[in-house]
Amino acid sequence: MARVEVRRHIAADPASVALLLAEPMGEDAGRDGVTVALPRRGGVGFIASIEVEDIDGRVSHGTVSVKPSSDPGTDLVVSVAAPEGPAARSVERAARLFLSRLAVRARSRSFAA
């Protein structure tokens, strides 16, 4: 098994990002092959279980952590145990796309406020 870890900084506070994780992803739900459980408090941030489907249709399990950053905003880390090789690369791509879409949602939410 490979440990896939994807990091992203989002210019939004951790509580707002956790609320976004708790919402349905609308038309993007399931399109990335990513499913997220409701986030829960974890130390100074939040943590949620995540499932990511690889190119072969196998589901890998892991977590997404949401923590305050030293810079203004939030640091996100998706960590998933995935099969080696092409499956791990597809899990990494899905996790990157998931975090990118989450960042876009956080940005659009902040502009709406």
Q: Could you read off the pLDDT of 66-107 as tens digits, one per residue?
A: 999 998 899 999 999 999 999 999 999 999 999 999 999 888
Please state the pTM of the whole predicted model: 0.87
pLDDT-derived band at 30 (thresholds 50, 70, 90) equals low
State how far the Cα of 99 lies from the Cα of 93, in Å rounded to an integer.
10
Residue 60: its pLDDT value, please?
A: 94
Residue 27: its pLDDT value, please?
A: 47
Residue 109: its pLDDT value, please?
A: 72
Q: Taking Cα atoms as reference points, which of 16, 4, 1, 23 lies closest to residue 64?
A: 4
Answer whether 25's CB lies under 8 Å from 97's CB.
no
